Structure 1
Amino acid sequence: MSNKNTDFDLFQQEMSGIKKIDSNNVKESAKPKPKPIPRSQIQDDRDVISQLDSDPFSHEYIETGDEIFFFRPGLQQKVIRKLKRGQFAIERELDLHGMTAEQAKNAINSFFHDCNLNSDRCVLVIHGKGYRTEEREPVLKSMLNGWLRHRSDVLGFCSARIEDGGTGAIYVLLRNA
């Protein structure tokens, strides 16, 4: 028994200068906050989509099998070739199958917002070929072609390779956030 008291006494002696921490003042380590997207960019994107929606002729009609592409002036040919060949790592995917134009518009805005927060560089957007629409036309493909050309965060896009969806999907190259 004296051994237990001695251990306790030694413990007390070692702890004599220690103060109890008030648990109310303990701060947990904060996760790094994502980079904010400027409100002007968000508003610009909303304005563009609103303008595109109000103009029925703003969406060029595209056939199901047509390839689409767009690249900002000044983008290096090497980067364009690499995107067309599907050689960028796809960091995120969005599947728009079965969505209405309005649902797709909202999904696109949310998706690109997340991509910007995560500094994603290359993403795949699957729009489908339009076989299930009443018109049997690629409505979302045509709309995406218009929407993405006006987004300031999009450097370029092109139809995907067969194994990634072919003319029913596009690779999108995003500006570094």
Structure 2
Amino acid sequence: MKRKISDKDKKDWQNFISSKEKLSNKDLYLSNNDIKKKIIKTIDFHGFSLENANNVIGEFIIQCFKKNVNKIIVITGKGLRSKTIENPYVSKDLSILKNSVPNFIKSKPNLMKMIKKIEEANMEDGGQGAFYIFLKKFKE
């Protein structure tokens, strides 16, 4: 089915093709400015204990900060298979690493000095079972 082209669209097209103004190559611009500058690292804590995850994340943040990593994707899992029912001091509704790792980071001023923000990850990066850490730029 063919649609009728409006007079406005015809006029806009004529203005576009008769224009002497050069168009910039957006692909070149994106590859030079955005892609090269964005460094993303991922760490997966599936199978880690709480103590081990907290020890590893602190060191990982420091290393990434010094390497000018922009974003860290931290995969904790949703905690659905955690054996929390056996421990009366932990709620079975609370996923251990999912909540405690961000809380551990927020409780450490030396780590928070390197961090812009912490937020839940998008679905393609793990959704509720992951979170992002956006780092500040490292200045020597």
Letter in 2 for 1:113: I
**Secondary structure, counterpart of 1:158 in structure 2:** strand
TM-superposed CA distance for 1:106, in Å, is 1.3
* 2:112 pairs with 1:163: no
TM-score normalised per structure 2 = 0.58
Kindly provide the CA deviation profile for residues 37-84 of structure 1, in whole angstroms up to 9, marking residues without a partner as x.
Answer: xxxxxxxxxxxxxxxxxxxxxxxxxxxxxxxxxxxxxxxxxxxxxxxx
**Secondary structure, counterpart of 2:78 in structure 1:** coil
Q: Number of paired residues?
A: 90
What is the CA–CA distance in structure 2 between the aligned matches of 1:116 and 1:153, rounded to whole Å? 7
**Counterpart residue number, 2:103:** 146
Structure whose CA Rg is larger: 1
What is the CA–CA distance in structure 1 between the aligned matches of 2:95 and 2:116, rounded to whole Å? 23
What is the CA–CA distance in structure 2 between the aligned matches of 1:156 and 1:147, rounded to whole Å? 14
Letter in 1 for 2:123: I
**Secondary structure, counterpart of 2:72 in structure 1:** strand
Tell me if the contact between 1:131 and 1:138 (Cα under 8 Å) persists in the aligned partners. Answer: yes
Give the unaligned 5+ runs of structure 2. Answer: 1-36, 85-91
TM-superposed CA distance for 1:169, in Å, is 0.5
What is the CA–CA distance in structure 1 between the aligned matches of 2:82 and 2:39, rounded to whole Å? 28
TM-superposed CA distance for 1:145, in Å, is 2.6
What is the CA–CA distance in structure 2 between the aligned matches of 1:133 and 1:100, rounded to whole Å? 10
Taking only the aligned residue pairs, the percentage that are identical comes to 30
TM-superposed CA distance for 1:132, in Å, is 1.8
Tell me if the contact between 1:96 and 1:127 (Cα under 8 Å) persists in the aligned partners. Answer: yes
TM-superposed CA distance for 1:89, in Å, is 4.6
